[in-house]
Amino acid sequence: MKIEPYSEKRMLYCDDKCSLYYYRGKLIYKDVHSEQTTNIGGKYSRFSFVERLMRKEPRCAARVDENHIIVSFDGNIYAYCISDNSVIIEHRFNKGMNNPLEFLKVKDKQTFESIIYYGEYIWNTERGPVSIYRRKTGKWEKVYTFPEKTITHIHNIIWDKYRDGFIILTGDDDSESGIWFADCDLKSIHPILLGSQQYRACVAFPDIRGFYYATDTPLEDNYLYYVELNQRLEVEDVKKIYNMPGPCIYGTMHESNIFMSTSVEPDSSLNKWRYRFTYRLGRGVQDRFSHIIKITPEGKIEDICKFKKDILPIWLFQFGNVLFPKNEGKIFYAVLQSIAKSHGKTIKIDN
């Protein structure tokens, strides 16, 4: 395993011909012919320390067509136009939401348009309604809403091509932590697994028999599970197959391999103010490293590398983590978050 520093900038998107980065309030687009920069950040962008504290950094991106890449940043979705080197706000999140954890892109079978989805990953202490949004023909619309008192927020939405529908991951308390399945029109949604920290997850990876998922709880030990489904989308079996070193928030597939990272999180059983400033790890966090776990197509599981959390308070300056840019190319990249001397930097991993 060879790991190399790649860029001081935060990679958001890449393919074999181009890449998009963020650095101190600017989007930087690079291809084989040129490099161009445009402003996106506000008053905090001059100081990376403050950007990090105030959560004024983009989290995810997706390419919607040959000329546009969307970026989630500071409570909005921005559309970056490559040919004009310009950026506009095309959608605003509801109050209490800064960024989703990830965008989902699905190709329309008839038009081949890239349709984008996100679930509201929202600060929702009153457990109000939580919605799923879709971008189609360039317009955002609400396509489904969980009723109030059902969930706090949506962690992720995953397309299951084997069953022609969506896997939806929700949290955070026991009663609302669950894995749901929705049909391709998001008209019918039902829980597959619900009501335990064992079903609190942010990543899932479908295959022909079911799906993998890894838990995301600081409250108890975390595991990688495999769920076997029957043709009626009923659970036949749930197998615990790997003890994760910590909660898993981010994951991706690349070159048929699954990659997941673990997060360094504080003890969420503490009261609000102690939680925000503590260095105490949650019960489900085994050490102060963010690990990358790899699963091969043959099912081999390996802890391939780890990165140490820096010395700043865990919640206040963001969990120690490894993020994966939206990658449609052959080279594998990752972005380090709250890692010692490396926050926001991009690395290249030869796996």
Q: What pLDDT digit, counting tens, does each position of 189-226 carry? A: 999 999 999 999 999 999 999 999 999 999 999 999 99
pLDDT given at position 304: 96
Query: Is residue 177 in a domain?
Result: yes
Average pLDDT over residues 49-63: 94
For residue range 173-194, list pLDDT tens digits in order.
999 999 999 999 999 999 999 9
**136: Cβ–Cβ under 8 A, 6 or more apart, which residues?**
108, 113, 115
Mean pLDDT score across all residues of the chain: 95
Q: pTM (2 decimals)?
A: 0.96
CATH number of the domain that residue 139 is part of: 2.120.10.30
pLDDT given at position 211: 98
Average pLDDT over residues 235-260: 97
Q: Is 186 exposed, middle or buried (0-12, 13-18, 19+ CB in 10 A)?
A: middle
Query: Is residue 50 in a domain?
Result: no
Number of domains in the chain: 1
Query: Is residue 158 in a domain?
Result: yes
Average pLDDT over residues 153-162: 98
Query: Is residue 81 in a domain?
Result: no
Query: Is residue 146 in a domain?
Result: yes
Query: Is residue 305 in a domain?
Result: no
- Say if CB 135 and CB 116 are below 8 A apart: yes
Residue range of the domain that includes 208: 97-244
Query: Is residue 18 in a domain?
Result: no
How many other C-beta atoms can be found within 10 angstroms of the C-beta atom of residue 349? 20
3-state secondary structure 148-162: CCCCCEEEEEEEECC
pLDDT given at position 45: 84
pLDDT given at position 339: 98
pLDDT given at position 49: 86
Instruction: Round to whole Å and give the CA distance between 252 and 127.
Output: 29
Helix (H, G, I), strand (E, B) or coil at 272: helix
Query: Is residue 133 in a domain?
Result: yes
